[in-house]
Amino acid sequence: MAIQPIPVIRAAYLTILEELMGDSGVTRDTWLEQCKLPTAPADQPDSYLPLNAVFSLMQRIARSVVTEAIELQVGSRLKISDFDSTVQQAVLGAPSLESALRSFCVLADREQSVSRYRMVREGDHMQISSRCVGYDPRGYPGSGEWLRIMSLVTIIRHFAGKTWTPVSIALLSPYEPGKETRDMFPQTHFQTVQAETRVVFNASLCRLGSLRNRSLYRAANTRQKGTSASGPAAWDFPTSLRKVIRAYLSDGCPNIEFAAGIVGCSVRTLQRRLKQLQLSYSEIVQQPRYESAVRLLGESGTSVIDAAYAVGYSDPAHFSRAFKRLAGVSPRQFQATS
């Protein structure tokens, strides 16, 4: 039986959550620590975090500020520039809204690894359904449905304007949307207790051309340089674990006990899963540390010592030896030739 990947979400969403925490006056660092989240998500918005940990933080914030639909609050602040660079390029470079949405449906697992979308035309209406695959929300209502909905709304509004609202929205949740939600979508019909989350809008909008923001498009293209990725993410267990570990490196390299907690299993179980894949935890950690070091050393003004600490080494000499073993050259030599 295949080992399921860790459900993850891009750190850009945690950055938006931090804005909400700032507005509410809650103790930021304490909550991030209690939810086992890294302390500097804004520094690496393209890293990936455990979905359950982010949802746990959402619940804490919702209870503190007594807000309706915390996910909706996050989603309402979402911008095209918050998306993964591949998603941004697909949306900003699309000739029409329909093309942008179809591209997003393919690439959406770059935002949340468990998200799946399906786009179908029915008469005069276009319908986009979404759901989670291979994810146990552990009591979290809606399974991130508002984040999925607001990703679509953000894209459509890029073409149709900031005041656009859907014809209807279908929710998994049994709770009727309250005043806060209805004020955001005053002309939208809501359905609850549905099998899938769904957004319905007039199909005529699909012909709308792109209001291309050239500066955003250039920024997305710059961010994507150096990567060959252009399609949906290829999530498997080792990949998801490496991606998550990379997000925590600036706080110190996570030990195997911490990693097991993220995965939601015992250390022995984690070791057994990795052994099935002919891997060890030290091999899993090695790649994200090296990739992060390469990126940092390629940036002007980053010293070898700063890079060592940023990828979780307490001893720069140990970092230099490890880097040379993988790269064939020392960090200083790498900087001199990059």
Identify whether 62 is part of a domain. Answer: no
> Are 193 and 287 in a shared domain?
no
**Residue 229 pLDDT:** 54
Last residue of a domain, one of 172, 207, 228: 228
> Are 95 and 165 in a shared domain?
yes
> Are 170 and 289 in a shared domain?
no
Distance CA 203, CA 98 (A): 9
**Residue 228 pLDDT:** 45
273, 279 in Cβ contact below 8 A?
Answer: no
pLDDT digits (tens, 9 = 90+) for 92-146: 999 999 999 999 999 999 999 999 999 999 999 999 999 888 776 555 555 689 9
- Between CA 284 and CA 287, with CA 286 as vertex, the angle to 5 degrees is 80
> Are 149 and 254 in a shared domain?
no
CA dihedral sign of residues 277, 48, 131, 119:
negative
Last residue of a domain, one of 228, 256, 276: 228
194 CB-contact burial (10 Å; exposed 0-12 / middle 13-18 / buried 19+):
middle
Identify whether 203 is part of a domain. Answer: yes
Sheet strands side by side (includes 168-170): 115-122, 125-132, 197-202, 168-170, 189-191
> Are 90 and 181 in a shared domain?
yes
Identify whether 44 is part of a domain. Answer: no
Low-confidence ranges of the chain (pLDDT < 50): 226, 228
- pTM beyond 0.75: yes
Q: Which of 101, 74, 68 shows the shortest CA–CA distance to 173?
A: 68
> Are 162 and 191 in a shared domain?
yes
CATH of residue 302: 1.10.10.60
Identify whether 241 is part of a domain. Answer: yes
As for how many domains the chain has, the answer is: 2
Q: Quote the domain boundaries for residue 301.
A: 237-337
pLDDT digits (tens, 9 = 90+) for 49-73: 999 899 888 888 887 765 667 888 8
> Are 287 and 162 in a shared domain?
no
First to last CA, the chain: 43
Q: Which two tokens stand for residue 200?
A: 């319905």
* Other beta carbons within 10 Å of 24: 14
Last residue of a domain, one of 228, 248, 271: 228
> Are 305 and 190 in a shared domain?
no
102, 79 in Cβ contact below 8 A?
Answer: no
In this structure, what are the phi and psi dihedrals at residue 201, rounded to the nearest 5 degrees?
A: -145, 165
* Other beta carbons within 10 Å of 278: 7
DSSP state at residue 110: G
Identify whether 65 is part of a domain. Answer: no
Tokens 């990739």, located at residue:
291
What residues are paired with 274 via a beta bridge? none
> Are 221 and 281 in a shared domain?
no
**Residue 3 pLDDT:** 86
Q: Which two tokens stand for residue 85?
A: 């660079």
